[in-house]
Amino acid sequence: MKIFQKEIALKPHKRGFHLITDLILEAIPELSQINVGQLQVFIKHTSASLTINENADSTVRLDFESHFNKMVPENAPYYKHTYEGPDDMPAHIKASLLSSSVEIPITKGQLNLGIWQGVYLCEHRDYGGSRAIVITAFGV
């Protein structure tokens, strides 16, 4: 069993859904040493998340952002956690609705994603800053 782990800092992204598949692959070239295994990507934040979805048409990412903003609005009168601004509590809810990690099969040294799949950084804050992700690849 081989295990590789890296922690990387992503540059700040504006609020929205951003493809980071290539950044992940650049960070862990050791992936090529694994014939069969798994890649886990974990984000160390409570107001951003990760998901896997459409990697070709950028309007999908825009629609995700529009839908999540409608589904989880800012300034809801029942929010108590409002110390960090109107986007803070909605960001926590959005992050919980999605996930803090994704897992992807590794086959013959490559991510075994579908043809139209990519990993998204889902930035739910207007000014979230740099985000740390932990990338763990393991297998044989």
Using pLDDT thresholds of 50, 70 and 90, give the confidence band for residue 86. very high
pLDDT tens readout for residues 101-117: 999 999 999 999 999 99
Q: How many domains does the chain have?
A: 1
Using pLDDT thresholds of 50, 70 and 90, give the confidence band for residue 10. very high
- If you average pLDDT over residues 31-38, what whole number do you get? 98
Which structural domain range is residue 14 located in? 2-139
- If you average pLDDT over residues 11-25, what whole number do you get? 97
- Ranges 5-14, 80-89, 100-109, 111-120: which has the least confidence: 80-89
Among 97, 103, 111, 95, smallest CA distance to 134 is for 103
Task: Specify the CATH number for the domain of residue 109.
Answer: 2.60.120.460
Give the global pTM: 0.95
